[in-house]
Structure 1
Amino acid sequence: MSIAWVFPGQGSQVVGMGRDLITASPAARQIFAIADETLDFGLSELCFSGPETDLTATENAQPALLTTSIALLAALREVSGDRLEPPIAVAGHSLGEYSALVAGGSLDFVTALRLVRRRGELMAAAHEGGMAAVIGLDADVLEQICDEVSATLQEHGVSQSTVVIANYNAPDQLVISGTSVAVEHASLLAKSRGAKRVIPLKVSAAFHSPLMVDAAEGMAKAIAEVSIRDLDIPLIANVTAEPIRSTDDVRREIVAQVVAPVRWIASVRYMVAMGVETFIEIGPGRVLTGLIRRIAPEARLINIATFEDIRALTVMQPV
């Protein structure tokens, strides 16, 4: 069977993640030790014991999730050895794309960790705007709503008029992002046009929108200073939902994904079209598994969130 490895993004963090790996896997233990040394603070203890408020902070959550995902991957490789079937593609949701780049051989873990820490700092520094999840509304309807709201606010002389779809997560789950006034107007209009629910998200800024241009410029500077290799395994990119492999494409993706929407629906469908039959989510939680189930219900889905999941993978049972 053809396999893709997928890696979750911010929001999947949970206090206690990775704790069981420390005694069970020397390879995973080394990943956490490298993270602590590289960042010069106790990231591992933050993952294992919290407090939750500190773990949830963007500048901490992003390196914590990367570290836990790569520790799980290291343990999986350690336990499986030559029996581990390689993926034909890798992908990650937003932040998870950095884990995918490590898994695909483009970034070494230390480089990815430093980039993600910087990404988290830049995103945490942005305080403009907000986001909301829209449940049960077609993407084309929501896209039209965003365009209408932006145009109407501009006509009325409102400078803060930006609102866009930030995440195409599943056919029935989209996320909008933009200025607070534009997101509020778009949320009301979405409800009036048939959305089942609109849920304001607890975020500090308008991620994956044009309002993140300063963070994107900061990432452009950061990425210019590090070594990147061509991918050994194609990455299905957030921005285009198409495969990339070259160093230049990776550099462009890392910058563009900060302001561009996450095209997760199209990414999953692309992987299915290229022959992927089994998706293995490597990282805390089951967020991507739930999304993929709604995008490609025919796919086999496996979670690797704990060491017990790694042991269970040897029988390759679908979830």
Structure 2
Amino acid sequence: MKAYVFPGQGAQFVGMGKDLYENSKLAKELFEKANDILGFRITDLMFEGVDEDLRQTKVTQPAIFLHSVILAKTLGDDFKPEMVAGHSLGEFSALVANGTLTFEDGLRLVSQRALAMQKACEMEESTMAAIIGLDDDTVVKVCEEIDEIVVPANFNCPGQLVISGSMKGIEIACEKLKEVGAKRALPLKVGGAFHSPLMEPARIELEAAIKNTTFSTPICPVYQNVNAKPISDPAEIQKNLVAQLTAPVRFTQTLENMIADGATLFTEVGPGKVIQGLVKKVDRKMETAGVNSYQA
């Protein structure tokens, strides 16, 4: 079975999507439509901007979404997903790819999500850290024992888990996790504590927008971040998408379930190769491919 997977925040790079814009009439039309919807020329920042511009959450999220979704649309008849998934922000790309959301609605939601998350980040200083070389259960247990906000945020692959929380919570957790055997505990350069209780203001804001958006029956199931299960019911997809902002991304379990359900090829659509690497960490024999530039 063909599984298509979509990257999240962190995969952006200056120049992303420029080849699509220059070589595909459809891509150019969609990028210009995106500029109109967003009210600013995101294409200028994507194609000719600087890293600092692209690192702003309000730019990063729609930029990665656009690169992934427009790439998928330019694949034409070659694009036949039998299952899809996306990492955090990438779930929105997956939901356009499988027909749950329209391009326009997906972009509007991603933009609203990014602005709401940016606001939540500014309300309280917070951060995230990558924990390498420990099993998930140990990381979860250590986080639970700390009397600060600190939670598992991204279950990325075996031996790699990202935690999220207050500055103090992350600092204490990194020390404790190194004491119990983590090979590395690396604070990340992010704007805040994504997928933690500190995103609750953003969740409330996004919930209203999601409830006012039409969700259609998809052409294939999406394996959602919050429960790693294949979902095709629009109402359930909607509910899980709201929960996603404050819940952990269960990506290890997502990939395991997709493989168990018959995935034979994982194709990553969008910038970077991060998800292909995660697939190999879950099952090194699994076939992977990437589409990150215009396919003539």
TM-score (norm 1): 0.90
In our comparison, the structure showing a higher alpha carbon Rg is 1
Select 2:117's aligned residue among 120, 123, 146: 123
Runs of 4+ in structure 1 off by over 3 angstroms are none
| TM-fit CA distance, 1:269 | 0.6
Partner of 1:98: 92
Corresponding residue for 1:9?
8
The answer as to 2:265 corresponding to 1:278 is yes
**What is the alpha-carbon distance in structure 2 between the residues aligned to residue 182 and residue 52 of structure 1?**
29
Once residues 269 and 279 of structure 1 are traced to their aligned partners in structure 2, the CA distance between those partners, rounded to angstroms, is 12
Alpha-carbon separation, structure 1, partners of 2:38 and 2:257: 36
Aligned pair partner of 2:289 in 279, 302, 310: 302
More displaced stretch, 256-265 vs 36-45: 36-45
Instruction: Give the corresponding residue for 2:32.
Output: 33
Cα distance in 2 for partners of 1:76, 1:230 equals: 22
Corresponding residue number in structure 2 for 1:178: 165
Contact map agreement 1:168 1:262 (CA 8 A) in 2? yes
CA displacement, residues 1-35 of structure 1 (integer Å, 9 cap, x when unaligned)? x1100000011011100111122222222221111
Q: Distance in 2 between matches of 1:267 and 1:98?
A: 15
1:165–1:261 CA contact under 8 A, matched in 2: yes
Residue identity opposite 2:264 in structure 1: E
TM-superposed deviation, 1:85: 5.8
Contact preservation (8 Å) 1:166, 1:176: yes
Q: Distance in 1 between matches of 2:40 and 2:14?
A: 17
The DSSP-based 3-state class of the residue aligned with 1:15 is: coil
C-alpha RMSD of the superposition: 1.1
Distance in 2 between the 1:39 and 1:131 partners? Answer: 28
SS, match of residue 84 in structure 2: strand
State the alpha-carbon separation in 2 of the partners of residues 233 and 31 from structure 1.
Answer: 23
> Secondary structure at the residue paired with 1:217?
helix
Please report how far the alpha carbon of residue 272 of structure 1 lies from its aligned counterpart in structure 2 after TM superposition: 0.4
Residue type matched to 2:17 in 1?
Answer: G
| d(CA) in 2 for partners of 1:238, 1:117 | 19
Identify the residue that residue 43 of structure 2 maps to in structure 1.
Answer: 44
Tell me what 1:143 maps to. 140
What do residues 81-102 of structure 1 show as CA deviations (whole Å, max 9, x unaligned)? Answer: 3xx2622100000000000000
State whether residues 126 and 204 of structure 1, in contact with CA within 8 Å, keep that contact through their aligned partners in structure 2: no
Q: Any conservation in 1 of the 2:130–2:188 contact (CA below 8 Å)?
A: yes
Q: Which runs of 5+ in 2 are unaligned?
A: none
Q: Using the alignment, how far apart are the partners of 1:166 and 1:117 within structure 2?
A: 21
How does 1:148-227 map onto structure 2 within 5 Å? 148-149=145-146, 153=147, 161-227=148-214
- Work out whether residues 135 and 197 of structure 1, in 8 Å CA contact, stay in contact via their aligned partners in 2: yes
In structure 2, how many angstroms separate the alpha carbons of the residues matched to 1:290 and 1:27? 30
Retained in 2: the 8 A contact 1:136–1:195? yes
Which one of 107, 110, 115 corresponds to residue 104 of structure 2?
110
Deviations 1:224-273 (A, max 9, x none): 22221122210000000001111211211211000000000000010001
Matched, 1:70 2:57: no
Q: What is the distance in 2 between the residues matched to 1:271 and 1:50?
A: 37
